[in-house]
Amino acid sequence: MDEEGDGYRWEGNYEKTWELIQETDGGLVDTTTTNAKREKRRLIQQRLSNVKLGVMRHVFLVLDQSVNMEDNDLKPSRFICLKRLSEQFILEFYDQNPISQIGVIVVKNGKGQKISELSSNINKHIANIKAQKACEGQFSLYNGLEIAFKTLSSMPSYASREIVIVAGSLTSVDPHPINDMLTQLAESNIRVSVIGLSAAVQIFSRVSAATGGTYNVMLDEQHLQELLRLQCAPPAATPTMEPSLVKMGFPPHVTEGPLSLCQCHVDDKSKAELTTHGFTCPTCASKYCEVPVECKICSLTLVCAPHLARSYHHLFPLAQFTETPTEELIDDSMVCGGCTKTFGNQKHVYRCETCNSYFCYTCDIFVHDMLHHCPGCESRPR
Amino acid sequence: MGDSVGDLLVLVIDLHPVWWADHSLTGVVQSSLVLSNAHLLQNPLNKLCVYGYMNTGVYKLYPTEEDLVAGESTAGKYEGFDVVNTTILMRLKDIMLECRDPEEHKQLDGSLLSGALIQALCHCNVMSKNLAIGNILNSRILVLKGSPDSRSQYMAIMNSIFAAQKNKVAIDSCVLGEDSTFLQQASEITGGTYMRVQDHGKLAQYMLGVFLMGVEFRKSFNTPPASKVDFRAACQCHSKMTDLGFVCSVCMSVYCGFRPICMTCNAHFKLPTALLKGKKVTGKRKLENGKS
Amino acid sequence: MGGGEKVKIRNIHEYIQKLPQTTQDRLYTHPATCLALFRSLTETAQQYVMRLLFIGQPFALNKLTSWAVNVREKANLDATKQLKSVRLWSVVKLDNGTDGVTLHPNFRKGLTTALCGGGMSWYGNHQLEPDKKPKTVEFLDSYAQERWECLLQYMVQGNSDSDKVSPDIANLLLQSGMINKHGSEHAITSTGFQFLLLNTSSQIWYFMLKYLDKCDTIGLNLTTCLAFIFQLSFSTLGKVYPIGSHATFVQHLRQIGLVYQRKHTSPWFYPTRHAIDFLSAGSNKSAERKEGFIVVETNFRIYAYTSNELDIALVALFAETLHRFEGFVVGHITRESVQMALQNGISAKQILDFLESHAHPQMLKCKPTIPPTITDQMYLWEMERSRLSTEEGVLYSQFLSDADFKVVHEYAQNIGCVQWSNVQKRLLVVNKKGHGDVKKYWKQYKKEHGE
């Protein structure tokens, strides 16, 4: 039992960290199984495989801006910390799902307000989030969900519809019963996930369970970051998501064309300028500075091939390697299939089931985190 | 304060026997050796790694686990360079001797560029992780390619390009044969330089002038202009580049016209409403459907 | 007391720049020199050299200026200046009358040989029998360290332990101003102090430069010695090399631990790590960083994890040693200890450079490595010493009348030698330079206006 006067539990982040240290046989500190690394491997192993995924996503990020968010258990205040983490979340989200769209909603004074429309424009989202300052009023779950619902219900059915709520308050002021909203959401196949900042609240867990989302409550800032990062991975497809062929344009990149204005900045007098380079829409020939974007004139989604390729690793994930102790290796001179170095005094090696090559710990993390392809399998002729 | 501990240059050389049968490998290898020596000379902390790849596998030419040779400065070359060069040449010889029947090579797919890139990236990753605290290693990969691209490696190559981008490893390309869209995209996305060299005799000059410099340093020198990169997608059905395509919402494969079933994931698509209602469609559309 | 001269370490190209042209030409015929010189150039200069290396004839200057994005940029101008200063880059007239640039032919040939081969062996055609008992790298490292520390200990400790250090080396230390000899005793000078705080590569390079300046007096040819040194720095650790014609020079190198020889008469030698690494000081490219052992805290405590006598003596130069344990020394940086070091001619920057280059890996995790309190305080202590400056002068007092004072004061002001004056008390201080003139003027004035 901790003494009452010593501070809050969450302040005791660094209590008894020596208990995490493990010793090897020789009495030295064993660095390969520190907590952080174990955590990372666990997270990687949670990824889904052989499940149909909703790769094209429409996600609304709902941020709580009520007075509860002025609390400073996350330094300097919950809301400022959340703004920072949301930026990181948006960047990582677009990195993993380049053809998806995000919109941002904030809830304050019991009302929801859409501060950023569903689009692929990263900078606009980040700028709008940064512009939010004061936290006031109460949180309203119903109103926040309603605004998201209005937009998402009109989205095409081949894309997944999701809402991610980050809520710091334990109460909610709603004009109508939540159950009505729940039924509407379930009918429209909108998936709601909630990340709580203080304690578990029953209504949040009901909302997420009813719509097939997840509900987590954060422990500290790092955990919050991990929870947001988990939302970047595409979720399993719902049975009602119909596969369909989406018409998309692959505009060529023109570097020396005639001087013209681009469509993305045509409303913004300060940024509009005549340029020679840009992407030209194949159907209506209007110019854009960046892709992916939805053409304003003919509403064709414009992407380039690498964007589609970024989602491939979700669809064809790499199988986990089996962990085997180093003693079981056939001979001592075997080298890692990735970095071709000997294994030295590592405790475990990792084996790919398909090609039977062995990998060291560093290469294993690198292959599963970033590469998504086994070096051994790729280095063999098909 | 991040102290730079030099640059890591990873050379990846295409050794496809059928392609090199029509071109001279010796000259290109000599030019690569001169580039490696110049790179090691610039800064005593610079590091080098060389991979060779062909359609039967990927081979590490330098550094090897055991020291194969002791350097000699008999021909006036610096001993250190002699060790590197002789090791590379010895390994090359071993690999070439293992080559199989040319007919067999023609049957196999293209050179394993994906495997080579992946191993090079693993090497860069391990080298960065083993540094002392506060040190930064600038890595880059130079690919010397001759044989044409092979589409079956598309996904693996794209994933390695994204991994390189995240790890801040630039991929330079020196293409000796035809233009390669894969490498154009790789250099564009990772911030490297793409160059096609027709005259192999002047290869050493080009390599020293363009690829010897680090990526940051290239900004103060004029480099060959970026070629027009084709970012369009190729359709699954005809492998043709297309401006306008239909993308399966489940597996992201691209088609040039409507088809009822996806080739990759077997998803069934709803027919477009115009056809369902039996409306008269334009002749072109009907013909397309008849074909697919 | 007092500053003494600041230790300035010349770069390889700065050094070569000062040599006469014939020496330079002879030097450039050795491939090792070309390699060493190339490494010491800036990145831009290296790029220019590499691009020009394989072009046989002179290259048009206007085409060359189009290589850089911004020719007026400082890096480009510095590079061309650097190349011109060592005569690597010469401007000639092309056939069509425009200017062309060409590399020094010897340098070009040397560098090409070193990169691609096609020349003669560096060490001649000596056939060596393999050593029956080869020396390991660890042995060579410990030998080099022991010899070099012997030299440094000799400098630090006042008593003449001179049988460990040969008279030639001691003489060289004396001539380069690092020690002062008083009879049979010797004491270290401020230059010597500054020398001690440098890292090993810089120390060896500085020492070699001094040696080369004096090698003519010992009877050795500068070019051959210099070429041999460069060749040495490009050798491989653990391998034997033939001595050839450099017997005397190798003896000297053996005394300071740059090479190892089994006996005086052996025809071969082993280069040590110091010989291979010291050139990095000359080329400004850092060698692999050795593990540091010093931890400095914000409460001015300094902890040194070492049991090496020399290291402890170096720390004691500017910090007060509090406790000594096995492999661990605790010290305290105080105002007095730092003032004493400053008095001996060491600057605050040198102390901080020393601390930073020997910082423990644990300290490297913090940015900045040394806490800002320590750096600021060191500079403040250094500035304290320059609060007062003294200058000799002469006081003029007891003027009989105001008019006399005014006349002298005006004259002194006109020739600009007034240091201080007080009109009410009729006091005037004139600096020594002007004193003679003022005195003459006063005498003349008195004579003119007569008593």
C-alpha distance from C56 to closest chain B C-alpha (Å): 12
Contact B245 A247 (CB under 8 A): yes
Q: B-chain residues within 8 Å CB-CB of A56?
A: 249
Identify the chains in contact with C, defined as 3+ C-beta pairs within 8 A: B
- The most distant pair of C-alpha atoms in chain C lies apart, rounded to whole Å, by 100
Q: A287: helix, coil or strand?
A: strand
Interface contact C67, partner B, CB < 8 A: yes
Please tell me which of B15-19, B204-208, B218-222 the model is most confident about, judged by mean pLDDT. Answer: B204-208
Contact B160 A371 (CB under 8 A): yes
Distance of CA B138 to the CA centre of its chain: 18
Q: Say which CATH class A53-230 falls into.
A: alpha beta
- Domain shared by B179 and B240, yes or no: no
User: Residue B144 is part of which domain span?
Assistant: 3-220
- Domain shared by B190 and B254, yes or no: no
Asked whether A214 and A192 are in contact (CB, 8 A), the reply is no
Of C115, C122, C285, the CB nearest to B34: C115
Is residue B266 very low, low, confident or very high in pLDDT (cuts 50, 70, 90)? Answer: confident
Distance in angstroms (rounded) separating the CA atoms of residues C333 and A6: 37
Q: What is the pLDDT of residue A11?
A: 58
Of B75, B78, B222, the CB nearest to C234: B78
Distance in angstroms (rounded) separating the CA atoms of residues C133 and A165: 74
Q: What is the pLDDT of residue C34?
A: 87
C-alpha distance from B149 to closest chain A C-alpha (Å): 15
Q: B-chain residues within 8 Å CB-CB of C131?
A: none
Interface contact B41, partner C, CB < 8 A: yes
Of A53, A246, A381, the CB nearest to B246: A246
In a domain, B206, yes or no: yes
H/E segment holding residue B38: helix B25-42
C-alpha distance from B129 to closest chain A C-alpha (Å): 8
Contact B119 A338 (CB under 8 A): yes
Here the tokens at position A329 are 């290796």
Cβ-based neighbour number of residue C63 at 10 Å: 11
Asked whether B160 and B114 are in contact (CB, 8 A), the reply is yes
Lowest mean pLDDT among A2-6, A232-236, B8-12, C203-207: A2-6
Distance in angstroms (rounded) separating the CA atoms of residues B118 and B58: 10
C-alpha distance from C119 to closest chain B C-alpha (Å): 5
C185, burial (CB in 10 Å: exposed 0-12, middle 13-18, buried 19+): exposed
Q: Please state, for a pLDDT cut of 70, what percent of chain B lies above it.
A: 86
Distance in angstroms (rounded) separating the CA atoms of residues B80 and B71: 6
Kindly report the average pLDDT of chain C as a whole number: 82
Domain layout of chain C by residue ranges: 12-116, 137-282, 294-384, 393-448
DSSP letter at B208 equals: I
Closest CA to B161 of B170, B153, B152, B150: B170
- Chain B interface mutation, best of C50, C125, C360, highest count of B Cβ atoms under 10 Å: C50
- Chain B interface mutation, best of A371, A377, A380, highest count of B Cβ atoms under 10 Å: A371
- Domain shared by B112 and B140, yes or no: yes
Contact C50 B222 (CB under 8 A): no
* All residues at 6 or more sequence positions from B19 whose CB lies less than 8 Å from its CB, including other chains: B146, B147, B177
Here the tokens at position B120 are 């090079």
Closest CA to C239 of C358, C135, C101: C135
Which of B192, B220, B248 is the endpoint of a domain? Answer: B220
- Domain shared by B142 and B278, yes or no: no
Q: What is the pLDDT of residue A4?
A: 43
Distance in angstroms (rounded) separating the CA atoms of residues B234 and A364: 32
Interface contact B67, partner C, CB < 8 A: no
Closest chain C CA to residue B78: C114
CA within 13 Å, CB half, B252: 26
Q: Say which CATH class C12-116 falls into.
A: mainly alpha
Distance in angstroms (rounded) separating the CA atoms of residues C59 and C80: 15
- Domain shared by B122 and B251, yes or no: no
A10, burial (CB in 10 Å: exposed 0-12, middle 13-18, buried 19+): exposed
Domain layout of chain A by residue ranges: 53-230, 248-305, 322-379
Amino acid sitting at position A307: H
Of B3, B71, B75, the CB nearest to C119: B75
Contact B34 C35 (CB under 8 A): no
Count of CB pairs separated by less than 8 Å, B with C? 113
The arithmetic mean of pLDDT across residues C235-257, rounded, is: 82
Q: B-chain residues within 8 Å CB-CB of C38?
A: 41
Of B1, B76, B204, the CB nearest to C117: B76
Cβ-based neighbour number of residue C221 at 10 Å: 16
Distance in angstroms (rounded) separating the CA atoms of residues A316 and A377: 14
Q: What is the pLDDT of residue B290?
A: 44
pLDDT digit string, tens, across residues A321-347: 888 887 777 776 678 888 888 887 777
Q: Is the pLDDT of residue A23 over 90?
A: no
Is residue B2 very low, low, confident or very high in pLDDT (cuts 50, 70, 90)? Answer: low
Is residue A209 very low, low, confident or very high in pLDDT (cuts 50, 70, 90)? Answer: very high
Q: Is the pLDDT of residue C132 over 60?
A: yes
Length of chain C: 451
Strand partners, B52: B13, B59
The arithmetic mean of pLDDT across residues B224-244, rounded, is: 78
Contact C43 B219 (CB under 8 A): no
Is residue B283 very low, low, confident or very high in pLDDT (cuts 50, 70, 90)? Answer: very low
Here the tokens at position C41 are 């150039």
Sign of the C-alpha dihedral computed for residues B46, B52, B58 and B60 taken in this order: negative
Distance in angstroms (rounded) separating the CA atoms of residues C433 and C421: 17
Q: C-chain residues within 8 Å CB-CB of B220?
A: 44, 68-70, 73, 75-76
Length of chain A: 382
Q: B-chain residues within 8 Å CB-CB of A52?
A: 250, 265
Number of domains in chain B: 2
Q: What is the pLDDT of residue C329?
A: 93
Which of B220, B252, B281 is the endpoint of a domain? Answer: B220
Interface contact C298, partner B, CB < 8 A: no
Q: What is the pLDDT of residue A86?
A: 94
Kindly report the average pLDDT of chain A as a whole number: 82
Closest chain B CA to residue C39: B42
* All residues at 6 or more sequence positions from B97 whose CB lies less than 8 Å from its CB, including other chains: none
Q: What are the distances in angstroms from CA C174 to CA A268, C208, C341, C447?
A: 75, 14, 21, 56
Q: What are the distances in angstroms from CA A279 to CA A56, A210, C33, C177?
A: 22, 43, 54, 70
Instruction: Tell me which residues of chain C, numbers 138 to 157, contact chain B at a CB-CB cutoff of 8 Å.
Output: none
- Domain shared by B30 and B156, yes or no: yes
Closest CA to B155 of A47, A372, A375: A372
Contact B77 C113 (CB under 8 A): yes
Q: Is the pLDDT of residue A292 over 60?
A: yes
Contact B79 C66 (CB under 8 A): no
- Chain B interface mutation, best of A245, A310, A315, highest count of B Cβ atoms under 10 Å: A245
Identify the chains in contact with B, defined as 3+ C-beta pairs within 8 A: A, C
Distance in angstroms (rounded) separating the CA atoms of residues A43 and A33: 15
Interface contact A52, partner B, CB < 8 A: yes
C-alpha distance from B265 to closest chain C C-alpha (Å): 50
The arithmetic mean of pLDDT across residues A269-291, rounded, is: 81
In a domain, B138, yes or no: yes
Q: What are the distances in angstroms from CA B112 to CA A375, B10, C3?
A: 11, 16, 66
Contact B245 A382 (CB under 8 A): no
- Chain B interface mutation, best of A157, A238, A241, A250, highest count of B Cβ atoms under 10 Å: A250
In a domain, B114, yes or no: yes
* All residues at 6 or more sequence positions from B142 whose CB lies less than 8 Å from its CB, including other chains: B9, B10, B11, B12, B35, B172, B173, B174, B211
Q: What is the pLDDT of residue B288?
A: 43
Q: What are the distances in angstroms from CA C9 to CA C188, C207, C328?
A: 19, 10, 32
C393-448 is classed CATH 3.30.70.2610? yes
Asked whether A249 and A300 are in contact (CB, 8 A), the reply is yes
C-alpha distance from B81 to closest chain A C-alpha (Å): 22
Give the helix ranges, DSSP H, for chain A. Answer: 35-45, 78-96, 122-130, 141-152, 178-187, 202-211, 221-230, 305-310, 312-315, 361-366, 375-378
Distance in angstroms (rounded) separating the CA atoms of residues C84 and C87: 5
Q: What is the pLDDT of residue A50?
A: 62
Is residue A220 very low, low, confident or very high in pLDDT (cuts 50, 70, 90)? Answer: confident
Q: Is the pLDDT of residue C14 over 50?
A: yes
Asked whether C42 and C50 are in contact (CB, 8 A), the reply is no
pLDDT digit string, tens, across residues C372-411: 999 999 999 999 888 877 888 888 888 888 888 888 888 8
pTM to 2 decimal places: 0.81
Kindly report the average pLDDT of chain B as a whole number: 82
pLDDT digit string, tens, across residues C267-321: 788 888 888 887 776 665 555 566 788 999 999 999 999 888 888 888 888 899 9
A322-325/A348-351 β-pairing: antiparallel
Contact A253 B231 (CB under 8 A): yes
Closest CA to A31 of A324, A345, A299: A345
Interface contact A366, partner B, CB < 8 A: yes
Answer whether C touches A (≥3 Cβ pairs < 8 Å): no
Q: B175: helix, coil or strand?
A: strand
Q: B-chain residues within 8 Å CB-CB of A375?
A: 115, 118-119, 122
Q: A-chain residues within 8 Å CB-CB of B114?
A: 373, 378
- Domain shared by B214 and B240, yes or no: no
The arithmetic mean of pLDDT across residues B228-257, rounded, is: 81
- Domain shared by B97 and B215, yes or no: yes
Interface contact A251, partner B, CB < 8 A: yes
pLDDT digit string, tens, across residues A224-268: 998 998 888 888 777 777 778 888 888 888 777 788 888 877 777
Cβ-based neighbour number of residue C361 at 10 Å: 14
Interface contact B97, partner C, CB < 8 A: no
C-alpha distance from B76 to closest chain A C-alpha (Å): 32
The arithmetic mean of pLDDT across residues B131-136, rounded, is: 74
A160-167/A190-196 β-pairing: parallel
Q: Any idea which residue has 């230790």 for tokens? A: C7
Contact B119 A247 (CB under 8 A): no
Distance in angstroms (rounded) separating the CA atoms of residues C266 and C263: 5
Q: What is the pLDDT of residue B114?
A: 92
The CATH code belonging to domain A322-379 is: 3.30.40.10
Which of B220, B254, B279 is the endpoint of a domain? Answer: B220
Q: Please state, for a pLDDT cut of 90, what percent of chain A lies above it.
A: 26
Interface contact A245, partner B, CB < 8 A: yes
Q: Is the pLDDT of residue B97 over 70?
A: yes
Q: B169: helix, coil or strand?
A: coil
Look up the ipTM and state it.
0.84
